[in-house]
Structure 1
Amino acid sequence: MQRILVLFVCLLVGKTIIANTPDTIIVHKDVRIDTLVTKQAAMNKRMLLKSSGGLVKGYRIQVITTSSRDEAFKIKSELLAKFPDQKSYILFQSPYFKVKIGNFLKREDAELLRTQLNNTFPFSVYVVDDMVEYAATGMPN
């Protein structure tokens, strides 16, 4: 019995001595992994910005909020006449019609059009966060 106990203690001490010896591990990383990680991060960023309908987070200019449907369509037709290069939208959120214009990724771009609209329309015109239409080629990285 003593022999078994001595043998057990010797094996236990020997095992702990071997376990504490320092070893080094050399990892050979493929350089293509960094490229793939960068591409995946850019793709994830784009997908975060997109909604299920293909829209991205951006800005529009809200021109008017009114309860009159006719007034909303009148303002929209004026916007189309004065700014044919910009797309305008009418959104109904009971009981109001909201008329918005533009698709901008940067707030600064929306502010430029807002200053032009302030000269044309006497009521409050302001920039709002919205989901906007934007071509995939213009997406930021």
Structure 2
Amino acid sequence: MLTKMKLIQICFLILFSFSVKGQLKTHVDPNVRIGVDSLKSYKNETLGFRIQLGFDTDKNNLDSLRIKFMTLYPKTDAYITFEAPYFNFMVGDFRTEMEAGLMKEKLIGLFPLCIIHRTRIKLPRID
């Protein structure tokens, strides 16, 4: 049978164990955080196709191409990226090569370059 002292100890532990507040700190390597953040960005991306309409070492030349494209197709996203030593101007977020091909047919002759590239794309927006 439980002694009176043991019973008091058990009651004390039960009563005060619920009021204990603690703090937990985690130390994570910065490289792990970078990896997690990059995985989050992949959630909104998938493999698909974009059309390259130009490349140049001078970004201002591509800005004029971008303005021309955006006036013709305001609902299609346009991207200027840098891959040394060139800036690349690509348009669209096409899931299939056929979709990209249909847009390419419309763009041939309007822009100096019209090449379909397989790349990571943002999920197409629903308009």
Give TM-score scaled by structure 1 length.
Answer: 0.57
Are 2:114 and 1:125 equivalent residues in the alignment? yes
Are 2:98 and 1:108 equivalent residues in the alignment? yes
Candidates 83, 91, 112, aligned match of 2:81? 91
What is the CA distance between 1:109 and its match in structure 2? 0.3
What is the CA distance between 1:119 and its match in structure 2? 2.7
Which sections of structure 2, spanning at least 5 residues, go unmatched?
Answer: 1-37
Separation in structure 2 between the aligned mates of residue 91 and residue 124 of structure 1, nearest angstrom: 16
Task: Give the match's secondary structure for 2:100.
Answer: helix
Separation in structure 2 between the aligned mates of residue 124 and residue 136 of structure 1, nearest angstrom: 25
Task: Give the match's secondary structure for 1:120.
Answer: coil
Contact 2:79 2:91 in 1 (8 A): yes
Are 2:97 and 1:75 equivalent residues in the alignment? no
Separation in structure 1 between the aligned mates of residue 95 and residue 68 of structure 2, nearest angstrom: 24
Sort the Cα spacing of 1:66 and 1:85 in 2 relative to 1 into closer, same or farther, 3 A.
same
Sort the Cα spacing of 1:111 and 1:91 in 2 relative to 1 into closer, same or farther, 3 A.
same
Sort the Cα spacing of 1:136 and 1:114 in 2 relative to 1 into closer, same or farther, 3 A.
closer
Task: Mark the structure with the bigger radius of gyration.
Answer: 1
Separation in structure 2 between the aligned mates of residue 89 and residue 81 of structure 1, nearest angstrom: 15
Tell me the matched-pair count.
Answer: 86
Which sections of structure 1, spanning at least 5 residues, go unmatched?
Answer: 1-50
What is the CA distance between 1:135 and its match in structure 2? 5.5
Separation in structure 2 between the aligned mates of residue 56 and residue 69 of structure 1, nearest angstrom: 27
Are 2:17 and 1:58 equivalent residues in the alignment? no
Please report the RMSD computed on the Cα atoms of aligned residues, expressed in angstroms. 1.9
Structure with the bigger percentage of strand:
2
Structure with the bigger percentage of helix:
1
Sort the Cα spacing of 1:135 and 1:87 in 2 relative to 1 into closer, same or farther, 3 A.
closer
Separation in structure 1 between the aligned mates of residue 93 and residue 57 of structure 2, nearest angstrom: 24
